[in-house]
Chains A and B, each alone.
Chain A
Amino acid sequence: MITWLYVLIVAWLVYLTIYNLYKEEKPMDQVTCAMVTIPLLLRLFGIK
C-alpha cells in the first residue's frame, strides 16, 4: 500500500522535474534536471 503511495510521489516528482526541464532557460540547469530524472524514472518503473 505505502509503496504505491511512494510510486505516486515519484511519478509526481518526475512530472515536476520534466516540467522544469522544459521551462529552465539555461542549458546547464536543463542538464541538471535531466540528470535528476534518471534515477526517478528507474525507480518509477521498478528497475532499480
Chain B
Amino acid sequence: MVIAFFVSAFAIKLPIGIAMAIGAIAGILAGGHLFPLDESIRHLVEGMFAYFDPILIIATATIFMFTMERNGLLQVLAAWTLRTFARAPFVLLAAITFIIMFPGMLTGSSTAAVLTTGALMAPVLMHMGVPREKAGAIIAMAALFGMAAPPVNIPALIIGAGVDLPYVGLDLPLLVLSVPIALGTTWALALPHVNKKAAVETARDVEAGPAAKHGAKLFLPLFVVAALMIGERVFPQHIQLGLPLIFLIGMGVALLTGEKVSANKVSIEAMKAALPILGILMGVGMFIQVMTLTGARGEVVIQSLQLPRGWTGLYPIIGTTMPLMGSVSSFGAASVLGVPFVLALPTGPETIIMNAAALSSIVAVGDLMPPTALAGIFAAQVVGEKKYIRVLRWCIIPGIIAVVQGLLAIQFAAPLAQYLVRIGG
C-alpha cells in the first residue's frame, strides 16, 4: 500500500489524492479483498465519508475567504490594522496570534482558523516585513494552537468519549498547553523581521484600496460569522448552524457589503482551489478504511503500545505516532491511538484529564504533517506561497517544541494536574 502510494505520488507524480487512492486499491489487492467487487467498492466509497463534514467546511470556508478577498475587505483590514498598531509590533503580533487562534478555539478546526482570520492577518504580517514563508508558518501554527485551545478541542472530546471521561476540567490544561507556545512561536518567527521605523513607514504607504469607501459596514461579515460561532458555543441548545452554513451566511453578507463580486464566479474559483485538498481527503479516507480492513491499522496501534512508559519507551512513540497518524486525520488519530494511549498512562481522576489534554495537544500537530497537512496547505494558500513545504519548514521547530511540551505534560501529569485540573460539581 505504502509503496504503491509513494511510487504514484513521487515517481509518476500523480496528485496526492489519487496516489492515496491507488495505495488503497493496492492494499485491497494485496489483502485479497478485491472480490466480491461490489464489496471492495463499498469499502472505498465508505472510506471517503470519513471526511464528508470536513469537505463541506473546507469548501465553504474557502468560498467565504475568496469572497472577503474580492470584495476588498482583506485589504482594508490590513491597512487599518497596520496604521493603528504600527508603533507597537510586540502587542500587534500578540493580537494577531489571538485573532488567528480565535476561530480554531471556537470550532476545533485549524482549517477554519487559517481560512478566515488567518487569511485576514496574512497581508498584515507581510506588510510588517515578515517573509511570505514565515507568515504562512505563523498562521499555520497559530491556527493549530487555536484548534488545541479551549473551549472546543475535538480530539480531547474524542479521547474523552473513548474512556467515558466527561468533558470537564480540561480548559485550564489546554489553555496552558496552547497559548504561551502560540505567542512564543509568533514572536520568535516574526520579531527578527519587524522594524518599528520601517513598519510606520509601510503603514503610511499601504493602500486601503477602493473598498475603503464602504466604511464600517465592510466588516459586517466578520462580525456576523464571529457572532454565530460564539452563539453556537454559548447557546448550544438553541443555535446549531454548523460551520458550513455560518460561512455561507458570512459570504452572503460579504456579497452585499463591499465591492461587487459575482457569487457564482468566486465560488467556482474557490472550489477550484479547494478541490485538490478535497481529493487528498478522499484518498486518505479510502486509505485508512483499507488499512483497517487489512488489519494494518490495528497493527500500528499494537506496535505503539508495547513499550514501557518513559523517555526511552512509550513517550517517543507517542510523540511520533500521534502526529504521523494525525497527518491522515487528527480526529482519527485521537480515537484510534489517543484512547489506547490514555489507558496506557496512569488513570487517576485528575491525571487522566491532564494526559488527555496533553495527548490532544500533541495530536493537533498532525495537521502539519504531509500529505494532508491541512494547516500547512491552507496557510501556504493564504500567503500565496505555491509550495507548502516552504511554509512547513518553519513549522518544524515549533511543532517539535509543541510535541515535547505535550510529553513533558504527560511526564509531570500528576503534579501538574494538582494545579491545573479542577473537577467541580
Partners in one complex: yes
Chain A residues with a Cβ under 8 A of chain B: 2, 5-6, 9-10, 12-13, 16-17, 19-20, 23-24, 28-29, 31-33, 35-36, 38-40, 42-43, 48
Q: How far is the CA of A10 from the CA of B285 in the complex (A)?
A: 19
Q: Tell whether B276 is near chain A: CB-to-CB under 8 Å.
A: yes
Q: In the bound complex, do residue A35 and residue B17 qualify as a contact, i.e. CB atoms below 8 Å apart?
A: yes
A22 to B247, CA, bound (A): 26
- Chain B interfacial residues counted at CB < 8 A: 30
- Known contacts A16-B271, A48-B45, A48-B49: A35-B18 contact under CB 8 Å: yes
The 10 closest A-B pairs by CB, nearest first: A32-B279, A16-B271, A39-B48, A36-B278, A35-B282, A20-B272, A28-B15, A32-B17, A13-B59, A39-B49
Docked CA distance A18–B17 (Å): 17
**Interface pair B15/A32, CB less than 8 Å apart:** yes
CB distance from B206 to the nearest CB of A (A): 33
Complex contact A6–B242 (CB within 8 A): yes
Contact B276 A32 (CB under 8 A): yes
A24, A32, A38, A42: the one contacting B18 at CB < 8 Å is A32
B244 CB contacts on chain A under 8 angstroms: 6, 9
- Docked CA distance A33–B14 (Å): 14
> Which residues, 31 to 47 on B, are CB-close (under 8 Å) to A?
45-46
Tell me how far the C-beta of B176 lies from the nearest C-beta in chain A, rounded to whole angstroms.
Answer: 36
- How near does chain B come to A23, taking the closest CB pair, in angstroms? 8
A6 and B282 contact, Cβ closer than 8 Å, known pairs A32-B17, A42-B45: no
Choose among B18, B55, B283 the residue that contacts A39 (Cβ–Cβ < 8 A): B55
User: Does chain A have a CB within 8 A of B248?
Assistant: yes
A37 to chain B, nearest CB (A): 10
In the complex, A13 Cα to B45 Cα: how many Å?
18
CA distance A29 to B14 in the complex (A): 9
- Chain A residues contacting B283 (CB-CB under 8 Å) are 35
Decide yes or no whether B275 CB sits under 8 A from chain A. yes
A7 to chain B minimum Cβ distance, whole angstroms, is 11
Are B18 and A36 closer than 8 Å at their CB atoms? no
* Cross-chain contact B18 with A9 (CB below 8 angstroms): no
Does A48 contact B15, Cβ atoms closer than 8 Å? no
- Within B268-294, which residues are at the interface with A (CB < 8 Å)? 268, 271-272, 275-276, 278-279, 282-283
In the bound assembly, the distance between CA atoms of A17 and B279 in angstroms comes to 11
Q: In the complex, what residues of B have CB within 8 A of residue A32's CB? A: 15, 17-18, 275-276, 278-279
> Are B245 and A9 in contact (CB-based, < 8 A)?
yes
Known: A28-B15, A32-B276. A10 touches B56 (CB 8 A): yes
In the assembled complex, the CB of A24 is this many whole angstroms from the nearest CB of chain B, namely 8
Report the minimum CB–CB distance from B408 to chain A (whole Å).
Answer: 40
17 inter-chain pairs at a CB distance below 8 angstroms, sorted by A residue, are A2-B242, A9-B60, A9-B244, A12-B267, A13-B59, A16-B268, A16-B271, A20-B271, A23-B268, A29-B275, A35-B17, A35-B282, A38-B48, A38-B282, A42-B49, A43-B52, A48-B49
User: What chain B residues lie within 8 Å of A19 (beta carbons)?
Assistant: 268, 271
Smallest CB gap from A28: residue in B: B15
CA distance A39 to B21 in the complex (A): 14
Q: Which residue of B lies closest to A21 (CB)?
A: B275
Rounded to whole angstroms, the CA-CA distance of A19 and B242 in the bound complex is 26
Q: How far is the CB of A21 from chain B (nearest CB, A)?
A: 9
CB neighbours of B18 from chain A (8 A): 28, 31-32, 35
**Using Cβ atoms and an 8 Å threshold, which residues of chain B touch A35?**
17-18, 21, 48, 279, 282-283
With A6-B245, A42-B45 known, 20 other A-B pairs at CB within 8 A are: A6-B242, A6-B244, A9-B60, A13-B56, A16-B59, A20-B268, A20-B271, A23-B268, A28-B18, A32-B15, A32-B275, A32-B279, A33-B275, A33-B279, A35-B48, A35-B283, A38-B45, A40-B55, A43-B52, A48-B45
Residues of chain A lying within 8 A (CB to CB) of residue B272: 20, 23-24
Given contacts A16-B267, A19-B268, A28-B18, contact A5 B245 (CB under 8 A): yes
Chain A residues contacting B240 (CB-CB under 8 Å) are 2
